[in-house]
Amino acid sequence: MGTNNIEKWVVASDPGERKLWIVPVTNPQGVIKYVRVSPHVQSGIVAGVYDERAMDPRLVAVQLKAGLEDAGWAFLADLYAEDGQLVAWAAFQKWMRSTPMLGATEAPKPFPEKYLPSGIAERKAGKADHQLESDDIVIPEMDDPRPAHSSKRQRRAAGMD
């Protein structure tokens, strides 16, 4: 699932102008989280692989921590890729760069909900794979039409008791 050849993050910086990467992910309920990773910030959600040969490290790849994907977590970039909408992913990255997450002082308009990947709406509607509920409890015997004489009074009235 997903693709490995796209950058699933946006490059930001901390107060000391060192690089910090923001990796948008969705949680199982469809809430978008802007996970920060860097050699100084070991995320509990995303594991980053860095090229640290230079003093200015470079993020090479990201991976969800074990078990999270099955639980319904996903990279936003992967959800866009699944929809075949990498154009929208580029627009989302551009929007991220205009937000206070990357130092803007004014909050921009929210990213339009209709341009979010379908995986977000699915999760919010509770219809993603990991959210499929087990079958409803069915007890056929109790669903059958009850006999008319189920109460003592009715049975007496019918002359059965």
Partner 1 sequence: MAANAGFNKTSQNDLVEGVQIDQIILGMNAQPRVFQDVAWIAPQVTKPTWRIARNDLITVNATLAEADEASFTSFTTSGVEITPSVYPVRSHVSLELQQDSAVDVLSKAIADHAEVILNAIDANLLANISSATNTSDYNGTALDKAKFEAALLAFKKQKPNPGPIIFVGGYKQIADIIGAYGDAGGAVYGVPGVASNAVAGRQDSSIYYRGTVAGIDLFEAAVPASGGADVSGAFMVKNRALALGFWTMLDYKLTDPAGRVGVELMTYSRYGSGIASQSNLREVISLA
Distance of CA 94 to the CA centre of its chain: 20
Specify whether the CB–CB gap between 93 and 24 falls below 8 A. no
CB of 41 to partner 1, least distance (A): 5
Distances in Å between the Cα of 149 and the Cα atoms of 142, 144, 154, 160 are 15, 14, 5, 9
Instruction: By CB under 8 A, name the one of 6, 34, 97, 122 that touches partner 1.
Output: 34
Q: Which is nearer to partner 1, 6 or 68 (CB)?
A: 68
Q: Does 36 bind partner 1 (CB under 8 A)?
A: yes
Please pick, from the candidates 43, 63, 85, 131, the single residue that binds partner 1 as defined by CB under 8 A: 43
Residue type, 154: Q
3-class secondary structure, 21:
strand
- Would you tell me which residues interact with partner 1 (CB under 8 A)? 14-16, 18, 20, 22, 27, 29, 31-36, 38-46, 52, 55, 57, 68, 95, 99-101, 107-111
